[in-house]
Amino acid sequence: MPHYLRGAMSLSKKGVVNISSHGLAEYLGMVPWQIRKDFSYFGDFGKPGVGYCLSTLEGHIRRILKLNRDHQVALVGVGNLGCALLAYPGFSKYGLKITAAFDIDQEKVDQTISGVKVRRFETIKQIEQEGLNLGIIAVPEGAAQEVADALVQCGIRGIMNFSSRQISVPRNVKVIAIDIAMDLARLPYYVPAG
Amino acid sequence: MPHYLRGAMSLSKKGVVNISSHGLAEYLGMVPWQIRKDFSYFGDFGKPGVGYCLSTLEGHIRRILKLNRDHQVALVGVGNLGCALLAYPGFSKYGLKITAAFDIDQEKVDQTISGVKVRRFETIKQIEQEGLNLGIIAVPEGAAQEVADALVQCGIRGIMNFSSRQISVPRNVKVIAIDIAMDLARLPYYVPAG
DNA sequence: GTTTGTGAATAGTTTCACAGCA
DNA sequence: TGCTGTGAAACTATTCACAAAC
């Protein structure tokens, strides 16, 4: 569904108002019946003979993904990757915003990066009062589990983990893991020459 | 398989030599028969009664994934994310190395970042002679397709796309797309309160 | 005429259970 | 005894085809 939301927003910006499952499939590199099946699982979004209205489609998907309101995100680890995430402009279109940043390095603490003041990791408990519900781990792998534990302690139930270490969390916490090096390492398998 | 490779390396570093499918499954949060099935697809890696020898397992997977030799990677876009990737130490364990970086911004061109000299994007054709076979797109979405076309023109057959725009490439080119904002936007769906 | 939504058919994946080997 | 590798069973996902709606 996030993929469909991205496509819907992208097509809307191009001025498209209605689109058929065939047109959307072509745009996303899929097959039409896959899209119809996926949408039908959540309800009847389209009109026979017309297709899907992109704005109502976007609204439906945002509601399904709980993106119909803003989400505040806590970032732990303000290294190269952390800084890049703080500066990244792409979060806003999903209503996501990094509103708290933490690091263990005293040199970084109290700096303001992309409008967010870096705080001591030891003070992370404060975010319990600040209405955050998502966290990003952008620390070296050795610290990943400790950070994950701290985030869970603060009531965070959704974590994006950029470290190359698998973290273990309670069953009611959802983790999305992105291991950039491992992902890049998938490519050579597909390239012919070697 | 990349996941298994990461696990094997991680366990090796901890001093483990042999491991059963049960032990590996527990470590990776999987079930034993899934691992045995996956491995059996590529050959007989294990010894009944003993399990899998991690070092031979690592060798097998590296050969399958074509990671038994080094790969040079071209980076296009030396913004916040590009710089983070240049500085990222995690690529080396898979034999991956960013050896060429390109940007369109004259301010960045000729700077040396993490040991790699940034070159003019217009000169990207040079990499055809340099033995690179992978590329990373770390540019704003508006430029993604143009960069992809250029990389393909240079003979690159594997691309990692960090932009939030889907790129279209010939069928013989493999793309791995990572849209950080879209990935983070998956989380709210799973968190209960909202 | 066009396009959706969906039941039926097909394909693929996961799980199981056990024969065979150390 | 303990563990792998694998065929069979159960399950899930994809693809198709068409009736109903615009």
Nearest to A191 by CA among B3, B125, B102, B71: B71
B49 closest-nt by C1' vs CA: D3
Q: CA-CA distance, B102 to B51, in Å (whole number)?
A: 46
Residue A156 has pLDDT above 60, yes or no: yes
A139 touches chain B (CB under 8 A): no
Q: A50 and A14 in contact (C-beta within 8 Å)?
A: no
The predicted-structure confidence for B43-69, as pLDDT tens digits, reads as follows 999 999 999 999 999 999 999 999 999
Cβ contact, residue pair B185, A10, below 8 Å: no
B163 touches strand D (CB under 7 A): no
List the nucleotides on chain D closer than 7 A to a protein CB.
1-7, 14-17, 20-22
A50 touches chain B (CB under 8 A): no
What amino acid is encoded at A82 in this protein?
A: G
Question: Distance in angstroms, CA of A35 to C1' of D16?
Answer: 14
The predicted-structure confidence for A10-61, as pLDDT tens digits, reads as follows 999 999 999 999 999 999 999 999 999 999 999 999 999 999 999 999 999 9
Cβ contact, residue pair B191, A133, below 8 Å: yes
The B 14-73 residues near strand D by Cβ under 7 Å are 20-22, 32-33, 36-37, 39-40, 44-52
For CA atoms A139, A140, A141, A146, the dihedral sign is: negative
Q: A-chain residues within 8 Å CB-CB of B157? A: 190-193
Q: A188 and B70 in contact (C-beta within 8 Å)?
A: no
pLDDT in the model for residue A192: 86
The count of C-alpha atoms lying within 13 angstroms of the C-alpha of B128, restricted to the half-sphere facing its C-beta, is 10
Q: CA-CA distance, A133 to A139, in Å (whole number)?
A: 19
Tokens 């020459």 -> residue: A193
> Which of B1, B29, B83 is nearest residue A80 as measured by Cβ atoms?
B83
Question: Distance in angstroms, CA of B118 to C1' of C12?
Answer: 46
Please give the average per-residue pLDDT across A134-155, as a whole number: 98
Q: CA-CA distance, A194 to B5, in Å (whole number)?
A: 19
pLDDT category of residue A194 using cuts at 50, 70 and 90: low
pLDDT category of residue B27 using cuts at 50, 70 and 90: very high
The predicted-structure confidence for B112-161, as pLDDT tens digits, reads as follows 999 999 999 999 999 999 999 999 999 999 999 999 999 999 999 999 99
Task: Tell me the average pLDDT of chain A.
Answer: 97
> Long-range contact list for B29-38, CB < 8 A, 24+ apart?
B29/A166, B29/A168, B35/B4, B38/B1, B38/B4
Q: CA-CA distance, B171 to B174, in Å (whole number)?
A: 8
Q: CA-CA distance, B148 to B116, in Å (whole number)?
A: 21
Question: Distance in angstroms, CA of B42 to C1' of D4?
Answer: 14
Q: How many angstroms separate the CA of residue A158 from the nearest CA in chain B?
A: 6
> Which of B5, B79, B160 is nearest residue A183 as measured by Cβ atoms?
B160
Question: Distance in angstroms, CA of B34 to C1' of C15?
Answer: 9
The predicted-structure confidence for B78-100, as pLDDT tens digits, reads as follows 999 999 999 999 999 999 999 99
Q: How many angstroms separate the CA of residue B47 from the nearest CA in chain A?
A: 26
pLDDT in the model for residue B39: 97
Q: At what angle do helices A32-42 and A21-28 cross, to 10 degrees?
A: 110
Nearest to A148 by CA among A116, A121, A118: A121
pLDDT in the model for residue B194: 54
